[in-house]
């Protein structure tokens, strides 16, 4: 008998009443370790009402006092980092160093959110005409829904939620049902930090809970991270219900290796960015594009033994480099795509299928996999595999590489490895991609800059964290003010001007 993970509503765990639950697995063993409650529409409606009431209090709390709660949360996450990482790893499967890195990136945004009062300052102009002063203010939008993915169960809720509440909103996190315990721990830490009950909620569930948030009239904003098909649905359905929506979605990230690049550095980058977290990152490098046959040969000669040597293992194995995938279905999907690549004519240099280890025979492991001679019409090139699979494209020229990147439907991240500044500058200008790395394989910006892709990697006009997030989580009011100091103009029927 396993425990059922509840919702977190009004500052306390709340058992579900829908009668529906989902299984939570240990990906390394394949065992069910818990169940998680799935909320019904009626439950979501009741939870939103509590968030609305909490927002009324929180939005009227002076911004320095809101910032002090966020400062306290930062200290609590730092103090509980190891415990949080352990909770995360048990359900996601990622290695402890990877989890620690994720948590640190969440802390970065908490630190940035503490400075939100400065970023929320409005504008003022005195005497724009006829004794009228004009000023603008930013106000919270209300209750924000955050639909977050399984691959970053700590970082993404903090990226969204810390900024949302810093702006004075209430935040309802609908995390992935696959690893719900870490988001629950975050909610408990926010309560300990002094956040008023109901400002940070956690609602578990499937599409029924998501649709309830998308359609609820008291949830004016939705932030989402996940796959492109789901993100497109979230964006269209949310907009149809008059919400502001930002959706950060799938990717197929290329890394161009120029002939002048440091090949050892490039190989290190590809191994880390391609196989870290078993490739379950939207910023993972999944396509290597060496320019020229000689570059391709050098790269592959060094890549093959490195990929063959990658060790699979559970999170508590200090030597593990590739963790299990999140579910058995994910493992089957990735192995199916590997076979699809073979069937379509790609050259399989390293095959990670059938990976297993003693004591973990039922785990959801796929080993490091490497393809060569991949072409743009193959499914393994077009699809986001979300597994430890790296494809090397057929040798091409620099301009062909740029065109290939721009022709792909995704535009999340990209990297170029070169010693030539002119090439790097030209590449950065020409590629239609949201985040670009020059000798940096995973160009995720720091918290005080904006995160977001292009093309079908993002729906909506604003970015994640950084100054753009302030614009998403607030609404602007512009106020024209004049005090009657003896002005007697009479009625003016013409359109007003500063004359």
Which residue numbers are catalytic?
282
Q: Could you identify the residue written with the tokens 């789901």? A: 230
**What order do you get walking across the sheet with 4-5 strand by strand?**
4-5, 31-37, 21-26
Q: How far apart are CA 9 and CA 313, in angstroms?
A: 36
* Size of the chain in residues: 499
> According to DSSP H, which parts of 60-202 are helical?
63-79, 81-92, 96-113, 116-119, 155-166, 181-193
Q: How far apart are CA 497 and CA 499, in angstroms?
A: 5
Q: Could you identify the residue written with the tokens 């630190």? A: 111
Task: Return the percent helix, strand and coil in the chain, to nearest 5.
Answer: 40, 25, 35
Q: How far apart are CA 13 and CA 92, in angstroms?
A: 22
Give pairs for 372-375: CB < 8 Å, separation 24+: 372/300, 372/346, 372/347, 373/345, 373/346, 373/347, 374/287, 374/341, 374/346, 375/345, 375/346
DSSP labels for 216-245?
-TT--EEEEES-HHHHHHHHHHHHHTT-EE
Handedness of CA 126, 130, 131, 132 (dihedral sign): negative
Q: How far apart are CA 308 and CA 310, in angstroms?
A: 6
> According to DSSP H, which parts of 114-180 are helical?
116-119, 155-166
Q: Could you identify the residue written with the tokens 């025979």? A: 361
Cβ-contact 64, 72 below 8 angstroms: no
Cβ-contact 27, 327 below 8 angstroms: yes
Q: How far apart are CA 146 and CA 133, in angstroms?
A: 38
């Amino acid at each position: 008998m396993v425990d059922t993970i509840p919702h977190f509503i009004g500052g306390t765990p709340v058992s579900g009443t829908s009668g529906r639950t989902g299984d939570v697995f240990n990906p390394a063993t394949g065992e069910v370790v818990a169940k998680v409650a799935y909320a019904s529409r009626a439950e979501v409606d009741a939870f939103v009402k509590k968030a609305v009431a909490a927002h009324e209090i929180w939005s009227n709390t002076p911004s320095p006092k809101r910032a002090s709660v966020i400062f306290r949360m930062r200290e609590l996450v730092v103090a509980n980092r190891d415990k949080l990482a352990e909770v995360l790893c048990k359900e996601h499967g990622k290695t402890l160093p990877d989890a620690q890195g994720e948590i640190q990136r969440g802390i970065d945004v908490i630190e940035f959110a503490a400075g939100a009062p400065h970023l929320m300052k409005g504008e003022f102009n005195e005497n724009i005409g006829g004794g009228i002063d004009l000023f603008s203010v930013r106000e919270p939008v209300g209750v924000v829904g955050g639909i977050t993915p399984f691959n970053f169960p700590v970082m993404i809720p903090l990226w969204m939620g810390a900024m949302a509440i810093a702006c004075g909103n209430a935040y309802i996190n609908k995390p992935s049902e696959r690893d719900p315990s870490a988001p629950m721990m975050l909610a408990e830490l926010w309560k300990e930090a002094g956040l008023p009950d109901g400002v940070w909620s956690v609602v578990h569930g499937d599409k029924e809970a998501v649709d309830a948030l998308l359609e609820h009239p008291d949830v004016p904003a939705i932030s989402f991270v996940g796959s492109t098909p789901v993100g497109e649905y979230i964006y269209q359905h949310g907009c149809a219900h008059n919400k502001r929506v930002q959706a950060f979605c799938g990717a197929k990230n290329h890394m161009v290796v120029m002939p002048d690049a440091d090949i050892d550095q490039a190989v290190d980058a590809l191994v880390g960015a391609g196989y870290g977290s078993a490739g379950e990152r939207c910023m993972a490098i999944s396509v290597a594009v060496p320019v020229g046959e000689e570059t391709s040969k050098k790269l592959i000669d060094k890549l093959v033994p490195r990929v063959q040597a990658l060790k699979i293992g559970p999170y508590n194995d200090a030597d593990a480099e590739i963790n299990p995938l999140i579910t058995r279905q994910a493992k089957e999907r990735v192995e199916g795509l590997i076979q699809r690549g073979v069937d379509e004519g790609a050259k399989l240099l390293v095959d990670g299928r059938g990976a297993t280890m003693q004591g973990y025979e039922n785990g959801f492991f796929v080993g490091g996999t490497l393809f060569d001679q991949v072409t743009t019409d193959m499914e393994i090139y077009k699809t986001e595999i979300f597994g430890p699979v790296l494809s090397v494209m057929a040798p091409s020229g620099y301009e062909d590489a740029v065109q290939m990147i721009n022709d792909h439907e995704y535009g999340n991240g990209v990297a170029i490895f070169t010693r030539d500044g002119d090439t790097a500058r030209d590449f950065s200008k020409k590629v239609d991609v949201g985040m670009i790395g020059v000798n940096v394989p995973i160009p995720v910006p720091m918290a005080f800059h904006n995160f977001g892709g292009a093309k079908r990697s993002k729906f909506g006009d604003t970015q994640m964290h950084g100054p753009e997030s302030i614009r998403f989580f607030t609404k602007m009011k512009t106020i024209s003010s004049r005090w009657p100091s003896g002005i007697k103009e009479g009625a003016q029927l013409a359109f007003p001007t500063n004359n």
